[in-house]
Structure 1
């Protein structure tokens, strides 16, 4: 009998850790992952579990009684993937298990099927979606149709190269360097042949494409909610990957300077007359990123709405002279505020909507401007430009999280779990789960 109980405990802890692995590898915050793991263990009948999460590992401990040694399990997170379809499916599986609609063994088998299944869309369509996202970025920055077509082709080449590098086990840092260099090289070629386009927009679109895969929101969320170890690790990863982009662009600019090719900043100033184009471009970028990340089709409409609203808010705030950082923060707040409700209503985790909706706000042109001033002009103002890009990134992530805080419904039955974890749920059940037990409750004798 004790062996059967130990086996039940092991299966429940294993299921919880496997669920947490999917969430953590998909960019979910540590608070969200912890809450989901505790929800799975509570639904499996285990009370008082303790969770410890670092960037690459998760430890889950359960003590059946005060005089019994705790049982602790460890699971490593060896991969990072931007697969919103898997994240959504696992999130729904956890909610079904918490409601008692599936048993633990059924949930375990379904989780194994979900993690081993391939992408829901053909890979070529995801590659094309990355190109469409880069094309939307050029439209957002004031580019014409010719430079948009060039940006689409360039982004497709970058994604194909990165996929090949990934199969060769090349670290992500070098993939970022190669992708940024390709975008800069294309811009230099366009400038050398005197093409009637704005070459700098190709570089900016490539930077936005490469920045879109960096989980900056999760890093800021961990810092705000008190998980400083994982926040530091996520921030270091974001800085390293962004450093790869900077290295690739600066290498291309340095080569251009040697050959007398200097690509200036050619973005247009924001005009309210072009607000519909900017809103449409923002929605297109959000949809393309969501599709490239294999988000469910039902999520594309709310993603488009939030991408368009975020671009509109950014345009209006910039036109009102609030500065790029505050304009980005206000737009990100709008995305976080609406993304929570729209995500839940469409049956997907809000993380899918807010991350996709915030893609048009990434500071691609600001990074390029700082590098151009630093490399081509030898101007120290470029350092302040790069610092401005960092401020925009932090404003973007913190604005999204603040929007989630405001949007999250405050309910008494959820206060216990929310107070313990001190953060809004971007992934996982919204209410604490009461543990189910197969043992009958003893009745108190009244005689």
Structure 2
């Protein structure tokens, strides 16, 4: 009986061992297949999809907006155009700076289109979208067995861009260790994959972009000074949209036409009055914000909807205009700004408290008497009256829209 038990135990152990080996083999096969598919997609995506970009409306050269739309009439953009004409056909690195949404990617693609390697790959890497732990392998690639899970070798984006253009967006997000390796590529045109023993030679045209002040990043130790001088051979600074308001009509016309084709809509062009209202806005999101706004207009078909949205946002901005005589009172202006912000905070808190002023005072950590004084000083009660009048008007409208009984409708 004891012999049988030992035999069954041995058989059970053998079965478990075989099962574990089979499961491990299946896992390795799946992982190997995943690595091959990932490599294939990255290779095709970087050399084909990224190179040619997403489908664009007919008539756009190289998948880009017309140059009269890109550069417009602003003097600062005329300088950008002049600089690009001089450096497009060269292989020197270019650093594009400017706020988020100013069109840095479009300028990078335009540089590639007008370069001597326009027929070669255009590979784009959004450094801010890739975690720092993965960015190194994404850029430089890795060899088989370089780390756990590296079942096959994978080329990096630098290698995929060989002969063409590599656009590194948000270069300020680089970790110091990756900055050192990138500096070597810029100096020697050589690099090695992770886990590799030999250097690879590449011929890549580098274009960089950032919305950060890299000189400030150098001062606080986040960016290498020697790398900055390597990438800042030619600097192209893109102005924010609030500094090129004269270009808003052309941009709106272009975006509305494009979105009409994309969404199969027939939205009309904005009137001159609405264009003038758009030119009064400060555009913190720049051209990207304007594009999204026109997209919303095309889909919804309402000019009032987008303009009311801008007006709501504009009310949160303290406006200051230098008077004609040129003299201002800093104390008075500061008081006005504080009063405006305080008024908005109090109004939102009172509304959140269902107009229970005692409860709102407690949440604001001030006395009830102080809240009453601030409400009177800020004119907040009038807002409540407006809200009540608005609700009353809505109830009146609903009562007027109620259909009469069936007997009354008969004639």
Fold in common (TM above 0.5): no
More contact order relative to length (CA 8 Å, sep ≥ 6): 1
More helix by share: 1
The higher radius of gyration belongs to 2
**How high is the TM-score relative to the length of structure 2?**
0.23
